[in-house]
């Protein structure tokens, strides 16, 4: 690593440590959780692939042996079919193992995507904290503007909270998982629906 890269990395780390807030720390924790989950899914996905590779190799071996057999007057058809069947069984077992592995590979990909999202969200929280600091420094140079600005921001946050509570109420009633939604329709008498 050259001198300029070290300097840039040091400045970036110093910037993150100076402006990190609770939201960024939470996103960092979620980032590490998603990376750990991705590693576990990847391990669970790659572990059975060795067995699948063995089955595919056995399949190829049986099919090659079947193709290399010289015809004999008695039992050729039976032994050739036996090798072909064994090869087919190994191929099918290998395909089953691969198909059972795909969900774990998808889970690993989703976890890596989630880690990327948490990294971006944490970066935006650090950027927002940086911009807030710049804003506070500007307000310190202006007389009386900070109080008006704080009142306006507080009013906007209150209206956002009201809207958020309505959305959360809607989600809790109408956007449940199918089992909970079914339970509401069955358990709750029609008077309360």
pLDDT tens figures, 56-71: 999 999 888 888 776 6
CB 109 within 8 A of CB 95: no
Residue 61, classified by CB atoms within 10 Å of its CB into exposed (0-12), middle (13-18) or buried (19+), is middle
Q: Which residue has the tokens 């970036």?
A: 12
Q: How confident is the model at residue 77 (pLDDT cuts 50, 70, 90)?
A: low
The pLDDT, as a whole number, for residue 94 is 92
Mean pLDDT of 2-21: 75
Each residue of 27-41: pLDDT tens digit?
878 888 888 988 888
**Lowest-pLDDT range of 73-77, 92-96, 156-160, 182-186:** 182-186
- Closest CA relative to residue 62, chosen from 87, 97, 88: 87
Q: Which residue has the tokens 């058809």?
A: 77
Q: Which two tokens stand for residue 83?
A: 């090798």
Each residue of 117-163: pLDDT tens digit?
988 888 888 888 888 888 888 887 877 777 888 888 899 989 988 88
Q: How confident is the model at residue 92 (pLDDT cuts 50, 70, 90)?
A: very high
- Closest CA relative to residue 57, chosen from 94, 20, 28, 7: 94
**Read out DSSP for the chain?**
--HHHHHHHHHHHHHHHHH--HHHHHHHHHHHHHHHHHHHHHHHHHTTHHHHHHHHHHHHHHHHHHHHPPP-TTTHHHHHHHHHHHHHHHHHHHHHHHHHHHHHHHHHHHHHHHHHHHHHHHHHHHHHHHHHHHHHHHHHTSSSHHHHHHHHHHHHHHHHHHHHHHHHHHHHHHS--HHHHHHHHHHS-GGG-
């Amino acid at each position: 690593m050259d001198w300029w890269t070290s300097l840039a990395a040091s400045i970036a780390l110093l910037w993150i440590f100076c402006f990190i807030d609770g939201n960024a720390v939470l996103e960092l924790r979620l980032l590490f959780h998603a990376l750990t989950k991705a590693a576990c899914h990847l391990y669970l996905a790659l572990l059975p692939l060795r067995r699948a590779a063995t089955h595919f190799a056995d399949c190829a071996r049986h099919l090659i042996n079947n193709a290399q057999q010289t015809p004999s007057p008695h039992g050729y058809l039976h032994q050739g079919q036996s090798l072909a069947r064994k090869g087919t069984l190994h191929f099918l077992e290998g395909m089953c193992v691969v198909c059972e592995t795909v969900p774990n590979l998808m889970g690993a990909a989703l976890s890596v995507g989630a880690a990327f999202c948490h990294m971006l969200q944490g970066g935006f929280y650090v950027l927002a904290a940086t911009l807030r600091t710049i804003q506070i420094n500007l307000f310190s140079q202006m007389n009386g503007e900070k109080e008006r600005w704080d009142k306006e921001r507080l009013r906007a946050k209150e209206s956002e909270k009201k809207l958020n509570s309505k959305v959360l109420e809607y989600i809790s009633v109408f956007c449940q998982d199918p089992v909970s939604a079914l339970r509401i329709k069955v358990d709750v008498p029609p008077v309360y629906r």
